[in-house]
Structure 1
């Protein structure tokens, strides 16, 4: 399931983040890639153990914690500290699948990558190419969103960033370990929760059907969730 979340960050927030990133010390993205990914990864990345990546990452996590669609779709248990990358002309990241397990920096925790996320920090007209292409059960879907928008997709998906041919693509990316690891169960819960929210608006939260469906949602969540 591929989900886009518009305006996770406001235009003012994006502008502030971009200001910090413009003066940041970028390094070759291949330094952080595994042996296989290193062969297809050609971009630039911030050192996420230093400023401004740390503070900017904390800001993004706070925004995520307050966004109901993200909470409903991801059911987050752990969030890997957001990273930041940029693609200049002729830079790309070829087809790859994200690592299944990652060590969370500065902790003894291991995170299982259930979901991958990209927050676009450059407007689509600032660069050409640079689409995020994600293989789904319906074929490849290309994503190029407005600055501040986010896309959320299963980490099991083969995906790539197509070559940038003009301008600069800037983004933040990270991974989520969900309380519900099964993709189909998580999709069922998301669709059910969205239905409950819509019926709540139409019928009111005390309507019997809303109460019944809400109960079904929480009972399924109780059955399927596996907190770490």
Structure 2
């Protein structure tokens, strides 16, 4: 499932992020990937675990976990602390698949990357290129969203960031270990949840909506890993 989640961060949060990131010390983005990713990755990142990355990442993580659409789609069990990256002057990240296992810090418990999320921090008209291209069984999807919006997609998909030829593309990105590791099962639960909410909004609670809600929770009970 690929899902656009609008308004994860407020305009004021975006303004503050941009001011802080303009003064940040960036490192080579290849520091956080293996040899295959390093061969196609050309961008900048905040150093993992740096005070600014921790501070801003905490804001992103709290905003996402409080967002009903993100929670319903990702069904998060654990979220890796968010990263921040920047692309300019032709920087790009070629086709790759995110690593399956991530570790937040030395000695921390490993996290299985089921769901990838990018939160855009630059407006689309501030830069040329920089589209996130995600390829799945249904084709190729091009994503370039307003600042503050997020895109959620399975970590199993091949994806890339096109070269940025004008301006700068800033974003936060992170991985989530879901309670439901299978993407198709997560998609079915999300669609069932959204339809239940629509029916309840239109017709209120009834034996049918109670039964459908029970069906949702029983499926979640059967598929969830906690």
**TM-score for both structures, normalised by structure 2:** 0.98
Q: Relative to 1, partners in 2 of residues 1:223 and 1:195: Cα closer, same or farther, differing over 3 Å?
A: same
CA distance in 2, matches of 1:214, 1:105: 38
SS of the aligned residue for 1:52 comes to helix
Q: Which residue of 1 aligns with 2:79?
A: 79
How many residue pairs match? The answer is 226
1:67 partnered with 2:67:
yes
Q: Relative to 1, partners in 2 of residues 1:128 and 1:221: Cα closer, same or farther, differing over 3 Å?
A: same
CA distance in 2, matches of 1:223, 1:31: 39
The C-alpha deviation readout for 1:85-111, integer Å capped at 9, x for no partner, is 000121000000000111122552110
Q: How does 1:97-112 map to 2 (within 5 A)?
A: 97-105=97-105, 107-112=107-112
Q: Which residue of 2 aligns with 1:219?
A: 218
* Structure 1 gap ranges (5+): none
Q: How does 1:167-178 map to 2 (within 5 A)?
A: 167-178=167-178
1:165 partnered with 2:198:
no
* Structure 2 gap ranges (5+): none
SS of the aligned residue for 2:185 comes to helix
CA distance in 2, matches of 1:31, 1:106: 15
**TM-score for both structures, normalised by structure 1:** 0.97
CA distance in 2, matches of 1:31, 1:221: 37
Q: Which residue of 2 aligns with 1:9?
A: 9
Q: How does 1:1-228 map to 2 (within 5 A)?
A: 1-105=1-105, 107-204=107-204, 206-227=205-226
The C-alpha deviation readout for 1:118-160, integer Å capped at 9, x for no partner, is 0000000000000000001121100000000000000000000
CA distance in 1, matches of 2:133, 2:157: 10
